[in-house]
Structure formats: C-alpha cells, structure tokens
Amino acid sequence: MHEMRRARPWLGTFVEIRVAGLANADALAAIDAAFAEVAEVHRLMSFHEPASDLSRLHRAAASAPVRVDARTFAVLEAALCLAAESDGRFDPTIAAQLVAWDFLPAPASSPSPDAQATWRDIELLDGSLVRFQRPLWLDLGGIAKGYAVDRALGVLRQRGAVAACVNAGGDLRCFGAQSERVELRFALAPDVALPVVELADAAVATSAVDAASHRVGGRRRGGHLNARTRRTIRAHRAVSVVAPTCLIADALTKVVLADARVGERLLRRHAASACLHDAKRGWRMLGCT
C-alpha cells in the first residue's frame, strides 16, 4: 500500500504524520489538514503564547468567566475528570510549581497564583466559559499534545485514509488493518532491555523521570512531580501507557509515575495498560493486558 510521510516542528517537538491508501494529491491535502489541526491546538493551549486560551485564562479567569474554544474546553473537561478519578495525582494546576522551580516561565500580565489552588478551583460553565475560584496557572502541555494527536488522526480518518499514524515526540496513535510495532525508548541505564508494543487502532504515550534536576531553595527539584503532594518524583522511573486515545495515554503516564497503585485502577477504568520500570523492581505490566 502506498504510504506518504511528512514531519513538521510543532508542540515543542517534531510531529510526524504517515498516511496510506490515498492518491498523492489527496494524501498531501489530508496531511496538510491534519497539521493545521495540530497548529490550532498549539495556538489555543500553549503556555507560552500570549494570545492562547490558556494565557487569557491566566490573566482574567479569577476575576470573571472567560470564553474559550470548544477544543480547549474539551481538554479542560478531560483534565478535571482525570484529576477527580486520581484524587489529584493528575492536576493541571501544577504550573505554579514548575514556574517556581524554573521549568516554565512565569505567565506575563497574570496575577500571582494562590499557593492553595488546585483543580477543584476550576469551574466549567455553559457556553464554553471557564472561571477560577482563585488565581492559578494551568499547564496542559502533555494532554494538549495527546489531544492534538487524536484530532490529527481524526482528520486523516475523515479524509478517507485506510491507515495512518501520528507521532508527536513519543505521543503516538495509529489506525489501520495492520498493527504498528513501536520500540519504547527511555533514558535508562544502557543495559536495560527496552520493550516493544504492537498497536492496532490505539495510542501510546511515554514519560520518563531522569536525573535532570537543579537546586531550588537548597533542594533538588525535577520536572516531574506528584501533583497531589507537589513533590518531585524520584529519578530513574519510566512508563509507557497504551490506551484508546492519546490524551488518556499521556495523562495516565503522570498518574502511574506518581502512584502505581492508583494508576493501575485508572488504567483498568480506561481500558489501558502500562509498562512501568523502576530501579528496584525492573519492568512490570499494569492494567489491562
């Protein structure tokens, strides 16, 4: 089957799209439309873009409801659902900690976040309106990337592709009659054997906690944290989650890294599975197998 492949820089990484079963002109048009959807998700949910929905929420949602795009609203709905299911181990309001630890820049022209703010302070109202009960900063980075992959794949389906794959820096989803072999890559010790998964109309997302960190206030801080405790997750842990959608897969990597027991419960709830590695127990499978 004829296949076409293109890659472009988006979402802080390279996004690769492969499509099969279309004539060249149709394949190019489908890929362009899929990239346009990725670009729109980036524009709406970027932490860094001053005009994004996220930035507008940071500036004003603690004072009055702010209307956002339906796609941003959908990601926030999913984020709050996952926060409730995980009892806060997944929480999109962790951006304040990441800013304080110099992993993200402070949002411009935004009120300082309340140190006690959590996902429970986000209100989703009719008409795609969002209100904050207290000032807070959101980071949708991972699940927005997963959502962008899901949306791009949806475009390719609508355009008549027989098979397709979208890969955004480790957040990957595919469909088609043949399964996709995906080699999982982590920054683990060189002697650690890495698993391979086969995907058929499914998604996989990967997250690894390496030793990269720096000192903040006399303590060593890393970029991965348990959102419930606001504490850094210990280094040298890695997980890949296979799930029906890339948004769910990406979010569940954070839950599993923070608390494997809670993560396994959510994996089963979402018909997902995970490969988890840590220094003490090596590889183990969690969730649906």
Clarify whether residues 218 and 86 are in a common domain: no
Judgement on whether residues 186 and 242 belong to the same structural domain of the protein: yes
Q: Which of 139, 155, 188 is where one domain is finished? A: 139
Q: Residues 90, 217: one domain?
A: no
**Counted domains in the chain:** 3
- Residue 13: CATH number of its domain: 3.10.520.10
pLDDT of residue 184: 64
Write out pLDDT tens, residues 53-98. 999 999 999 999 999 999 999 999 999 999 999 999 999 999 998 8
Question: Is residue 69 located within the same domain as residue 128?
Answer: yes
pLDDT at res. 231: 77
Same domain, 158 and 276: no
Q: What percent of the chain has pLDDT over 90?
A: 64
Q: Are residues 37 and 109 in the same domain?
A: no
**One domain, residues 81 and 10:** no
Percent residues over pLDDT 70 in the chain: 89
* Residue 51 vs residue 213, higher pLDDT: 51
130 lies in the same domain as 90: yes
When comparing pLDDT for 203 and 188, which is higher?
203
Banded model confidence at residue 13, pLDDT cuts 50, 70, 90: confident
Let me know whether 146 and 135 are in one domain. Answer: no
> pLDDT digit string (tens) for 112-144?
999 999 999 999 999 999 999 999 999 998 899
**Residues 104, 121: one domain?**
yes
Show which of 139, 160, 187 is a domain's final residue: 139
Sequential DSSP letters for the chain:
--EEEEEEEETTEEEEEEEESS-HHHHHHHHHHHHHHHHHHHHHH-SS-TTSHHHHHHHHTTTS-EE--HHHHHHHHHHHHHHHHTTTSS-GGGHHHHHHTTSSPPPTT-PPPPTT--GGGEEEETTTEEEESS------HHHHHHHHHHHHHHHHHHTT-SEEEEEETTEEEEESSS-EEEE---S--TTPPPPEEEESSEEEEEEEE-S-EEEETTEEEES-EETTTTEEPPSSEEEEEEESSHHHHHHHHHHHHH-HHHHHHHHHHTT-EEEEEETTTEEEEEE--
Domain of residue 78, CATH code: 1.10.3980.10
Do residue 191 and residue 210 come from a single domain?
Answer: yes
157 shares a domain with 37? yes
Residues of the domain holding 119:
53-139
Task: Report residue 274's pLDDT band, with 50, 70 and 90 as the boundaries.
Answer: very high
Higher pLDDT, 282 or 46: 46
* pLDDT at 208 (0 to 100): 77
- Average pLDDT (196-222) is 70
In this predicted structure, the answer to whether residue 188 has a pLDDT above a threshold of 80 is no
